[in-house]
Amino acid sequence: MSAHHPDDDHSHLDAMTLRVRALETVLTEKGYVDPAALDELIDIYENRVGPKNGARVVARAWSDPAYRARLMENGTEAIRELGYAGRQGEHLVVVENTPGVHNMVVCTLCSCYPWPVLGLPPVWYKSAPYRSRAVNDPRGVLAEFGVELPEGTEINVWDSTSEMRYLVLPMRPEGTEGWSEEDLAALVTRDAMIGTGLPLSPEEVPA
Amino acid sequence: MRPREASALDALPALPRDDDGPVFAEPWQASAFAMTLALSERGVFSWAEWVDTFSGELKRAAEAGTPDDGSRYYHHWLAALERLIAEKGLADPAILVDARDAWDRAAKATPHGKPIGLSPDDLARIRDAG
């Protein structure tokens, strides 16, 4: 980033920017990367993929039992049907919440995450506390996220890897009978699909 | 009143939180991310190799006591990328240092607010070094 120095009228690049620019220059000159392709990648992840994709998948599963069956059978293929495929979406497994079982996703080693349906992970997902506590104390983590589950509910924690990524299919909120897929999708939050949240109830939908 | 008994939970670090903040906090993070993807897609390294290197970097940082609340995520990411590039022999570390210095000189020679670019001499030297 550029920053103005009060003592002169020249530019300054911070240490991280210098390291990244040096890499980009050398890799570009050697033909390993193409700056235009890098800009395109950044645009995709800043603007075009995100949890709205996953919300559409969940809303379709809530509305269409045949789709739901395909999604549970082969997540990657069923998600591809809706046009979401590509990087970090090669082996997507959908895990389904039920009244007796709640699912939660973590990557204990780093930050593997289902990019095509959720975009890039939030800061807390990448943090050491979440990565360790999700496994050791899932109920405590859920409480911090404001989620209280009935005592008898079993919590399954799924550890993502570079080969296997998980998407939680939350339970459809009550009072949504007859809703369109579009309206249902508005109830599906990012955290509900990681398992650290629940979908919004009809009363919670922003007008 | 009895003091509250310490529970195991008190010993656990709090979770950092964010709502739908920006995907990248600064442009260099976006560039580091995009270069990693581009190199992996070119087959220079596999994504499994990347995850291996990156998780090793996170583990080293944790062992060194670096606070890992997610805010230094891309610092670790860049360190892992530099490590993997060195391991694969993609770029001579001396050339990287040279390029870093060249960008630093270029910034300092550029009036504030003007685009910063490498001089033709610097660019030619970096290209020839390959």
Q: Where are the domains of chain B?
A: 26-90, 92-130
Give me Rg for the CA atoms of chain B.
20
Which residue of chain B is at minimal alpha-carbon distance from A163? B48
What spatial distance separates the first Cα and last Cα of chain B, rounded to whole Å?
A: 73
Which residue of chain A is at minimal alpha-carbon distance from B114? A11
Q: What is the ipTM of this complex?
A: 0.84
Q: Where are the domains of chain A?
A: 15-47, 50-204
Which residue in A37, A129, A162 is closest to B51 by CB distance?
A162
Residue to mutate among A7, A42, A87, with most B CBs inside 10 A, is: A42
Contact A94, A165 (CB under 8 A): no
Count Cβ neighbours within 10 Å for each residue of A62-77 and write b for 16 or more, e otherwise: bbeeebbebbeeebbe
For the stretch A104-139, pLDDT in tens is 999 998 889 999 999 988 888 988 889 999 999 999
pLDDT of chain A, 207 residues: tens digit per residue? 445 444 567 888 999 999 999 999 999 999 999 999 999 999 888 888 889 999 999 999 999 999 999 999 999 999 999 999 877 777 999 999 999 999 999 999 888 999 999 998 888 898 888 999 999 999 999 999 999 999 999 999 999 988 899 999 999 999 999 999 999 999 999 999 999 999 999 998 876
Query: How high is the mean pLDDT of chain A?
Result: 91
Alpha helices per DSSP H over B23-70: 27-41, 47-63
User: Can you name the CATH fold of A50-204?
Assistant: Nitrile Hydratase; Chain A (3.90.330)
Interchain proximity A128–B69, CB inside 8 Å: yes
Interchain proximity B108–A38, CB inside 8 Å: no
Residue B1 C-alpha, separation from nearest chain A C-alpha, in angstroms: 26
For the stretch B27-77, pLDDT in tens is 999 999 999 999 999 999 999 999 999 999 999 988 888 877 777 889 999
Contact A115, A122 (CB under 8 A): no
Task: Please pick, among A110, A162, A180, A201, the residue that the annotation labels catalytic.
Answer: A110
Interchain proximity B35–A133, CB inside 8 Å: no
